[in-house]
Structure 1
Amino acid sequence: MDGDTDKDAGDGGNPVKLTHSKAVALMVAVTLMWSIAGVVTRHLEQARSFEVTFWRSLFTLAALLVILPVLQGRAVFASMRQSGRALWISGLCWSVMFTAFMVAILLMPVANVLVTMAAGPLLTALFARVFIGHRIAPRTWAAIGVAGLGIAWMYGSQMAGLPVVGTLVALCVPVAAAINWTVVQHAQRHGHAVDLAPAVLVGAVISVLTTLPLALPFQASAHDLWLLALLGVVQLAIPCVLAVRCGQVLKAPELALLSLLEVIFGILLAWLGAGEEPAAAVLTGGALVIGALVFNELLAFKEQQ
């Protein structure tokens, strides 16, 4: 792609240059790592609810304490103390996403949670319009409407069989994501760039501290701890850091579009690896949500080109 040379020119300070095509391939790998949460959770033996979130966040924290100094040097921790309010708000949003996602996965089918999360980019556009005055293109308004119909179809046809609490918890994930990106965009517009990798670390710390009292008494078996360590390191810490790296090369519409692969991979893995076949309404509603976002992001990318 023609933009590869220009992208690399701005990466002189990075130890490894990342071309556009490599960033796309890396982002696909990131979504595959993100998508294992549902199928792995279904194989837990004794760990439940907030204990699952606590252990995953703790292993994520431990991994990031190793990964970040290796990639950015020990100065990353000193820079966090000097960061503005946006970093800590972003970290709080990450902690909500960490916690709500795992609790929702334990309360509802994986497919329902993932399709609900897919509405995040459209919610971000809406929040950015309301709170920081970003203009929303007519195509995005149309996509928001179609995605809303898709989610209404998915939940409306099976509301009697789904817990209300689970639905509300699942909705916390895209809402927190929308707040997160809106805060980051607002900070950048005012000359305060937010390093999202340390923000993920802050989110892990908050998640560990808030879920610890709710996780007691611990019931996780050794088998569970191995699986939760896998989630903390491979499903969360590593892909989040890699996604931030990809974000330095890929445009926002590309990132949003590629991130949708998590929904597809996650539903397939839960189906093949845990026998969790998605309901027809989920597939139909999910197709509307993903189709609306794909259409919107493709048009946005063409406009940027």
Structure 2
Amino acid sequence: MVGVRDLDPSASPLDYYGYELRRLREAAGLKQQQLGDIIYCTGSLIGQVECTKRVPTRDFSERVDAALGTDGTFSRLVGLVLRSVLPTWFQAYAEMEARASYISTFQAQLVYGLLQTPDYARAVLGVRSEGDLDAKVAARMERQRVLDRENPPLMWVVLSEAVLHQEVGGREVMRNQLAHLLDLWRRKWVRVQILPFEAGAHAGQMGSFTVLRFDDDPDLVYTEDFVQGHMTANPQTLREGSLRYDLLQAAALSLEDSAALIARVMEERYGHQPAPDGRAVA
């Protein structure tokens, strides 16, 4: 049994979530194990969330709402909780990203966060991860909910071909990630182009960057170094970022050729290969 401690609900979104979960569970006359039985988890997990030792997921929150009849309280609150899991320096960007009407990004090494599969994200975040890796992955997946809203942002992504060949998480993870990029073609507001190796020297050699555009706010340019991110609305920087992005788009393969390259790399590099005994392996 997880030890019960007093929580200050004003300390953080996670503290408030744990405080409310305990309060509403007890108001319903349920013990931790009883609630766990209803939502198909352990009573220990309920206790860990109530004591802020575990970060709740969206699925957990939706099941709690259904079990306690809380009219979406925890489903709404979990977004704030997961946002708070993001690095402090990244939270402001995540907020602006969620408000953007147009996102254009060039990625030199990795698939853009909004397009990552859970397993790919886990491999990326697990390289240097302090704290709850599950929570960090859940926070990244929460960011992707912006693509499912009624009016999602238009997203145009240019990926270096190197992104396709950099094996992150193993062959199966990469195969599924590239398949996910191809599946995104069904979303008319998401477009992916590949900058091929044959492009040679290009306008993105200084590294990845993202331009966010808004209906009612100044546009922003976002970059990262190995310590933190940098976001600016400086007109000259924005002009330079926009020009570099236009040049990258012009040098990249067409949408159709980009999809064909993704599919070819997926099959040739990460497809099922025969093992020495003749059996197929991933």
Same fold judged by TM-score > 0.5? no
Give 1 or 2: higher helix fraction. Answer: 1
Structure showing greater Rg: 2
Higher relative contact order, chain-length normalized (CA < 8 Å, sep 6+): 1
